Homo-oligomer: A and B are copies of this chain.
Amino acid sequence: MTMTIDMSDLRRRFHDMQYKMTPQREIILRAFIDFQDKHLSAEDIYQIVRKRSPEIGLATVYRTLELLSDLEVLKKLDFGDGRSRYEINETNSSHHHHHLICLLCGSVKEFEDDLLETLENAIAQKSNFLIVDHQLKIYGYCLACQQKRNNVD
Q: Which A residues have a C-beta under 8 Å from some C-beta of B?
A: 76, 78, 80, 98, 100, 103, 109, 111, 113, 115-116, 118-120, 122-123, 126-143, 146
Q: List 20 A-B contacts (CB under 8 A).
A: A76-B80, A111-B126, A111-B129, A113-B119, A115-B119, A115-B122, A116-B119, A119-B119, A128-B142, A128-B143, A128-B146, A129-B138, A129-B141, A130-B140, A130-B141, A130-B146, A131-B140, A132-B141, A135-B137, A136-B137
Measured in the bound complex, the distance between the Cα atoms of B141 and A146 in whole Å is 39
Measured in the bound complex, the distance between the Cα atoms of B110 and A123 in whole Å is 11
Q: Which residue on chain B has the smallest CB distance to residue A110?
A: B127
* Closest Cβ–Cβ distance, residue A152 to chain B (whole Å): 15
- Supposing A78-B78, A119-B113 touch, asked if A139 and B131 sit within 8 A by C-beta, the answer is yes
Which listed residue (B80, B109, B111, B123) contacts A111, Cβ 8 A? B123
- Supposing A78-B78, A111-B123, A115-B119 touch, asked if A131 and B138 sit within 8 A by C-beta, the answer is yes
- Max chain B Cβ within 10 angstroms of own Cβ: one of A80, A135, A142: A135
Measured in the bound complex, the distance between the Cα atoms of B129 and A143 in whole Å is 6
Contacts of A80 in B (CB 8 A): 76, 78
* Closest Cβ–Cβ distance, residue A81 to chain B (whole Å): 11
- Supposing A78-B78, A80-B78, A123-B100 touch, asked if A142 and B113 sit within 8 A by C-beta, the answer is no
* In contact, B127 and A132 (Cβ under 8 angstroms): no
- Supposing A80-B78, A116-B119 touch, asked if A127 and B139 sit within 8 A by C-beta, the answer is no
